[in-house]
Structure 1
């Protein structure tokens, strides 16, 4: 499952870079696409970074199983899971809506598709909020030992 999450995080990074590239090359450096692409890129990088912050296990298989059980018990219902879910899911939804907007613009060039655009902007905002939660969890809750 961890490998799937890393592949998903990598796809989020590539998709966010695609949004930035579309903003620069296709839309003539429109500020909105560059800002939202930067927010999505930040969210994807924070998501990838947080996935890499796993516990390092010894070579003993019994220790691995005990550590994995303790890790899962610690993660259930934690703030970290909420923050990672919010960040990863929001970035994925925002990128999917961006692709839907672009396909819609290419097939039916009648203007801006309002609903996908609104969901895209909401996804960008939630990605930013989730990224802040991940950083707060990593810098404050993990270092002080306080947990939710």
Structure 2
């Protein structure tokens, strides 16, 4: 059997497996998009708390702005990767293109860093606020430090997403 015939036979055999991937990938796309939307709402909450509750405290305004920018970039990048394939209307090709685009790529690393860091930072902010309401003497050190670290990593991840979108994706080069 020639190499081309073997490839076509194994490629055709893999199509039903890709059909089974369509629903979980579509579900994960929806879940990721909802998560990104919640990050945007949470970042708006951090920014609002910095302006109204903390009396325009510079640290909370800056971190809220960084979180909001990171969440918006994360949401934008997820929306960009969810556009349907222009070459074919077949969902199998769209799923294959989506998986090929993300698996092992710089974009996956950037999206993971941005989304996870923003989620951790928002969770630590909520923990800090719960602690502040229960004991208004100050901000707990560990959640505050993790919150600041999460904001920094969100900023770094959003820079990576923008670099990937502007340079690597447009030029067709890979990292």
TM-score between the two structures when normalised by the length of structure 2: 0.80
Offset at 1:88? Answer: 0.4
Number of aligned residues: 147
Q: Give distance in 1, aligned partners of 2:48 and 2:69.
A: 15
User: What is residue 65 of structure 1 aligned with on the other side?
Assistant: 92
Where do residues 57-136 of structure 1 align in structure 2 (5 Å cutoff)? 57=85, 63-136=90-163
User: What is residue 78 of structure 2 aligned with on the other side?
Assistant: 51
Offset at 1:108? Answer: 1.8
Of 110-119 and 35-44, more deviation after overlay is shown by 110-119
Offset at 1:121? Answer: 0.1
Structure whose alpha-carbon radius of gyration is higher: 2
Deviation readout 1:5-48 (Å, 9 max, x if unpaired): 11111111111111111111111000100000000000000000
- The CA RMSD measured in Å over matched residues stands at 1.5
User: What is residue 146 of structure 1 aligned with on the other side?
Assistant: 173
Deviation readout 1:108-140 (Å, 9 max, x if unpaired): 223220000000000000000000000000000
Offset at 1:58? Answer: 5.8
